[in-house]
Chain A
């Protein structure tokens, strides 16, 4: 079908006419017609289907992996474990703390321990259930409190506290002295899955010139390639990553997901291999939204003006860092929300646990912080007898004011106008806050 009319005319009349007009996405019609090919829609001659065996326990030493029954399942072409990895069994976005397949230890229940490629998905599925794991359980670290326990075993070589960041502004003691009311609370947020409609998926094959080609549902093909090549002991120019249409990413597909596993199986079998996660696989594995524990102390004067924020934010990045330290740092940077706070002490702590690992997800740490700072604002409003709207208007950042980390607001700062709109709407619709 031809481009919609408004799009054509906009393109003809000038380069900036797109701005402010409604422009259909160029790939939308194919999606509406059902002809867009996502990875799971693709097939190749001789293609095998892959499945992953997850560890199923959070923390253990691997004593052995018995694949002898799995290889006997009819249709199975390859069963691989860590010993089959030709390159460096490490990858990761920020630090290389992830194994392609678990070797010495299991660090989370979602650790991949073995891969199967078979003629059919059912055969691959059957084979992974026949792999026997001999695991020696270790004390699992399953909460932020566990991770902070000095007697807890170390999940990686360097301890369970990965990093700490600080935000400092003004004089905290002075802020406390000036406060007429101080609210002190602890908040927790939970782990959350992105739940993209399309699960993680890759189709890998050796092209006729010997280049390993991986068509994948990814947000970042070049960074994938940088992680795939060393693990498979291939030079970078022997790995080609093709970004397929993505059925939703939301940060999840920033990391390596199915790429190295599919590539490894294609390399070993010299056959095209399609690895499409089941929804269960997707819920088990790869990154989630960070659970956080946030201890906040916030002060205000009787007129509603904020005096200080004193907070510790603990983020559970799970067994692997992914982008955890950056997400949790960002929660600290945004700990005061869109408000002008004169005195600030905020520390963030990025912790390893044996939980599912967390990484990038829409909002990138800012949402967790909002749970804490907005709840604190409501508490202060209640204690001071000010409306929750007014306490926000008194304290919103305005052009000329700076955030806790020194970013000076310009005319793009719209929080005051937003809160005013809410106030007007509530007044015109006779809406009130109630508190019981």
Chain B
């Protein structure tokens, strides 16, 4: 067992872990940050998406040893001053959420997109969330919510 100091959502968390444990398991089971979800545990569904140094990655197949000296952002880190992020608000109000299990992953992928490209087109939004599977919505309401969050026109 190794000791790790992990920088997550601007805080430093101390934890013991095997170097090859997934960041997702460490987040969920050891640090109790359960916002990132385990849908497949094989890097296929995107529910576990977190940002590593600003880029979206799959925390279920990311070894915790590769997170040393880097910054992790999870869905819990998005609200500012106690207020939900606009993506979180629009997803809530525009029907982008049904069962909610894919939602944190979608929100993290969308957040990463908007950091790089604040005014994405519908195609760019769809490309950015192509790694996030949702079984409830059929994606339309999600795309609309993300367009609203970005302030781009909804078709």
Contacts and interface: CB of A to CB of B under 8 A. Distances in A.
Interface of A: 1, 4, 22, 24-25, 27-38, 40-41, 43, 194-199, 245-250, 276, 278-279
A415 to B, nearest CB: 21
Given A41-B34, A197-B45, A247 B93 contact: no
Given A1-B84, A197-B133, A34 B36 contact: yes
B135 to A, nearest CB: 5
Contact of A197 (B34, B35, B87, B99): B99
Contacts of B104: 31-32, 34
Nearest to B77: A34
Q: Please indicate which of the listed interface residues B42, B83, B136 has the most CB atoms of chain A within 10 Å of its own CB.
A: B136
Contact of B75 (A29, A33, A245): A33
A198 B107 CA distance: 17
Nearest to A36: B100
Contact of A32 (B37, B74, B84): B84
Contact of B92 (A28, A37, A199, A245): A28
Interface string B62-91: 000000000000111011000110011101
Contacts of A195: 135
18 contacts: A22-B93, A27-B100, A32-B84, A32-B87, A32-B89, A32-B103, A32-B107, A33-B84, A34-B75, A38-B37, A40-B34, A41-B34, A197-B39, A245-B99, A247-B99, A247-B101, A248-B98, A248-B101
A36 B93 CA distance: 17
A198 B99 contact: yes
Contacts of B122: none
B146 interface: no
Given A24-B92, A247-B37, A279-B40, A31 B28 contact: no
Identify the interface centre among B28, B29, B39, B107: most chain A CB within 10 Å of its CB: B39
B2 to A, nearest CB: 16
B36 A40 contact: no
Contacts of B34: 34, 37, 40-41
B97 to A, nearest CB: 4
Given A25-B95, A32-B104, A247-B99, 16 more contacts: A22-B94, A25-B92, A25-B98, A27-B100, A29-B89, A29-B92, A30-B100, A31-B104, A33-B35, A40-B34, A196-B101, A197-B47, A197-B134, A245-B100, A248-B98, A279-B39
Nearest to A283: B40
Residue among B35, B84, B89, B100 having the largest count of chain A Cβ atoms under 10 Å:
B100
A248 B136 contact: yes
Given A40-B38, A197-B45, A279-B41, A32 B135 contact: no
B32 interface: yes
B100 A247 contact: yes
B51 interface: no
B16 to A, nearest CB: 13
A118 B135 CA distance: 32
Contacts of A28: 91-92, 97, 100
A212 to B, nearest CB: 24
B125 interface: no
Contacts of B133: 197
A24 B100 CA distance: 13
A409 to B, nearest CB: 28
B102 A197 contact: yes
A64 to B, nearest CB: 32
A198 B97 contact: no
The 10 closest A-B pairs by CB, nearest first: A34-B35, A31-B100, A247-B101, A41-B34, A34-B75, A197-B101, A32-B88, A28-B97, A28-B92, A248-B99
Interface in B132-151: 133-136
Contacts of B98: 25, 248
B93 A38 contact: no
B97 A31 contact: yes
A35 B36 CA distance: 10
A4 B101 contact: no
Contacts of A199: 39
